[in-house]
Amino acid sequence: MARHKLTLKNKRFIAAGAAVAAVAGGLAVAATAGASETPADVKVDASAEVTVTRPVEKVVVKTVFAPAGTADVAPAVTYNTELVPVAGRVQVKEELRRDGGTRIELRLRDLVANRTYGAHVHTKPCGKLPADAGPHYQDEADPKQPSVDPEYANAENEVWLDVTTNEDGSARSVGIVDWRFREGGARSVVLHEAATSTHEGHAGTAGTRLACVNVPFK
């Protein structure tokens, strides 16, 4: 059988081939490791552009209305048990939108059927008295209070969530604004006895306060 002599040239060729194989193997390991460390919320499309999606911040309060006398411990209270019964259900959801705005959703169940309620975000927590929740939250505060000027008391500068219940006493409304609440500036949602007025001298008013739910808005 013929023998092959390992000349210096052959040795160099074999060494170079081994080096290439080692580098290729190292690259394969590095690529695999990098893939395993890719965050779950990163999506890579066919053009190799990377899009990072982050969860939307939310605040959700889901509870039932309790008697006003329990306001120091209850998350939601009713001041008129005929129009907002004890144990009627309420849910408020706040979502901080990626565009810098805010989306607020109000859901009600087991209230009076086929009835319209005014609803707004207020500045203070609920108390044993209807007035304890303070005025409406305004992105740009009206220097004159109580605010009834439509330049300030409107659905773009405040959060209005008026609802009309169906035959089961359920309702849902959504308010979207292009701003966010100041820290600690908004603390509740108040239900009123009527739809919100929009005309000069009465803008933002909606009659007697019927119920209130505490919401730790962000």
**What distance in Å separates the CA atoms of residue 115 and residue 94, rounded to the nearest whole number?**
24
Is residue 40 scored above 80 in pLDDT? no
Structural domain including 39 reads 8-51
Say yes or no: 209 and 183 in one domain.
yes
| Global confidence as pTM | 0.76
Q: What is the token pair recorded at 18?
A: 């081994």
Question: Is 98 within a domain?
Answer: yes
Q: Please say whether the beta carbons of 206 and 162 come within 8 A.
A: yes
- Give the per-residue pLDDT at 34: 37
Say yes or no: 126 and 161 in one domain.
yes
Phi then psi dihedrals of residue 61, to 5 deg: -120, 125
> Pick from 83, 51, 47, 50: which is nearest to 65 by CA?
83
Categorize the per-residue pLDDT at 86 as very low, low, confident or very high, splitting at 50, 70 and 90.
very high
Say yes or no: 97 and 164 in one domain.
yes
Say yes or no: 84 and 47 in one domain.
no
Q: Please say whether the beta carbons of 166 and 107 come within 8 A.
A: no
Say yes or no: 97 and 43 in one domain.
no
Lowest mean pLDDT among 29-43, 58-72, 119-133: 29-43
For the chain, what is the domain count?
2
* Per-residue pLDDT tens digits for 180-209: 999 999 999 999 999 999 999 999 999 999
Categorize the per-residue pLDDT at 33 as very low, low, confident or very high, splitting at 50, 70 and 90.
very low
- Give the per-residue pLDDT at 5: 42
Q: What is the token pair recorded at 79?
A: 């001041």
